[in-house]
Amino acid sequence: MATVTPGTGGTIKSTTAEGQAHEILTFLGIKQRNLTTNPGEIAKVTGQHDQQALIYSGTYEFSVTQSISASGSLTLEAVPYLVGTGFQVGTGGTFKGNSPEKYALEVLMYLQSLELNPVLNPQNRNLITGTYNSDTGLYQGSFSIPVILAIDAASGVVNYGANPYLL
């Protein structure tokens, strides 16, 4: 389980990076369906839920800006395509992206970096992919997040969330 700190007062509440990815990608998918927040009807995140395989999988594509600092550090930052989403990053959290697009790219790249560490990923799972093309300015990839699925016996509400796969 890749433990992270959600921002106090933030939109995303999960305490694992896997959960944060599931949450922010779902948030983007919901906002993409709304003409108020997505007047251009742009679909940068696609996802499907497989209840039999217990996987939430899909693809993502973000336009990004690239910059190089005076010290030579390369920075990639997702360009927002949604408007008025009500997204709040919160304070004191692990991730700092101040729009859902920036936040999502940060979480996805974080998971990619953790997947490279054999101590944290002993099963060598590569569930988050991504590549940056500096010619097109696009960072795109795929995700396949294991999920937990249950039905609350008292209320009948379906409980559905990320199943952590990293240590």
**5, 14, 33, 61, 92 from 19: Cα distances, Å:** 11, 5, 22, 20, 18
Instruction: Give the number of other CB atoms < 10 A from CB of residue 104.
Output: 26
- 104 phi and psi, to 5 degrees? -60, -45
- 5 phi and psi, to 5 degrees? -110, 120
Predicted confidence pLDDT, tens digits, the chain (167 residues): 899 999 999 999 999 999 999 999 999 999 999 999 999 999 999 999 999 999 999 999 999 999 999 999 999 999 999 999 999 999 999 999 999 999 999 999 999 999 999 999 999 999 999 999 999 999 999 999 999 999 999 999 999 999 999 99
Helix (H) or strand (E) holding 108: helix 100-115
